[in-house]
Amino acid sequence: MQPDPSTLPLLEELLMARGPGGQEHEVRDICLRELRPHCDETRVDPAGNVIGLIKGTHPSGEANQPIRIMAHLDEIAMLVKRIEPDGTLRVVALGGANPINFGVCPVDILGDRDFIPGVLSFGSMHSTGETHQGADVLSGSVNWGDVHVITRCSGEQLQTHGVRPGTRVVLSQHWRRPFRVGDAIAAHFLDDRAPMVATLQAARLLAERREELANDVYLVFTTQEEESNAGALYAASHLPGDATVAVEVGPIISEYATRLSVDPIINTGDKNGCYNREIVDQLYQAGKRRGLTPQFALLVDFASDASAIMSSGMSAQGGCIAIPTENTHGYELILEGSIEACAVTLLEFLLDRGHD
């Protein structure tokens, strides 16, 4: 699949934008800007989701059956649990984060009034293991109780910046730029910035061929997917349609027999249950028609906005298409062209619905 020259600049801009769950405004602003030219309507709902509507226009003679396509805005991050007297921050996970996902690294602390720099630390490595934290580090079993953030600020200074329990801590912009590895692109937070780019590309392609579109398409960029799927659940309860497809990253793991390629992963089920067989097959056939070889996978230790909505009873049908990704929730890596392959598969899937 030939890369689109616009892909990498937009991907890099989205990767540089900080988007912890519940505080995704930097990512949201870019998404709105990119989505608006291709939609009949765009808005931000009360949950913070970005919603774009492309109306179906093809005279199929059947009732309109809207479909919701969802990619998420947020990234894994950390929350301040407490502030120590010396200004050190104790943090916990926001979303499916573990200390190993970040390592010792620079962070941005997103205070209520501004942000300040910090360093995520496991403590010094020259330890005999006498302390509990030292023993965990030496054994490679680091947990959040072993982690702290160095700020070099006093408690009073942190209060001035608006740092408090619940403040988001994210990987610093200093370490967010994508990195080329041969024919691949690597970065933190390709989950879910790469699927976002694929969804935006699909929106552009769909708008160019809207006369072929039978049903309304809602493009939903959701908040708080990594933590609770709260944004998707809110959107599903307020938007029309009985079908939801999540656009995600898919793990490359031998137990799932997935491979790193441009060919999208068609998820058949995850920890929330099985996806709709009809939608699974339609996504697979859409990829085949574009000359791809989509990969079926049952991703047992996985979840998506679509499966959360299905399991809650808010959607009768659901599916999930994923970009094959190494090191999910870590320093992730995808092949060049895989974003475009996902986008054209989505386009083909959406144009085909309602024409049976």
* The predicted structure's pLDDT at residue 356: 55
β partners of residue 89? 83, 149
- Confirm if 297 and 267 have CB atoms less than 8 A apart: yes
* The predicted structure's pLDDT at residue 59: 63
Domain layout of the chain by residue ranges: 7-75+189-352, 77-175
Which CATH superfamily is 77-175 part of? Peptidase M42, domain 2 (2.40.30.40)
Distances in Å between the Cα of 37 and the Cα atoms of 34, 40, 193, 308, 346 are: 7, 8, 19, 30, 19
3-state SS assignment for residue 201? helix
Instruction: Give 277's Cβ-side CA count (13 Å radius).
Output: 0
Choose between 42 and 354: higher pLDDT.
42
Lowest mean pLDDT among 136-145, 146-155, 311-320: 136-145
330-343: average pLDDT: 97
Q: What is the CA radius of gyration of the chain?
A: 21
Confidence of residue 12 (pLDDT cuts 50, 70, 90): very high
Question: How many Å apart are CA 42 and CA 28, to the nearest integer?
Answer: 12
Which residues, 6+ apart, have CB-to-CB distance to 253 below 8 Å? Answer: none
* The predicted structure's pLDDT at residue 355: 65
133-152: average pLDDT: 81
Domain 7-75+189-352, what fold? Aminopeptidase (3.40.630)
Confidence of residue 260 (pLDDT cuts 50, 70, 90): very high
pTM: 0.95
Confidence of residue 57 (pLDDT cuts 50, 70, 90): confident
213-228: average pLDDT: 96
199-204: average pLDDT: 98
Lowest mean pLDDT among 54-58, 148-152, 221-225: 54-58
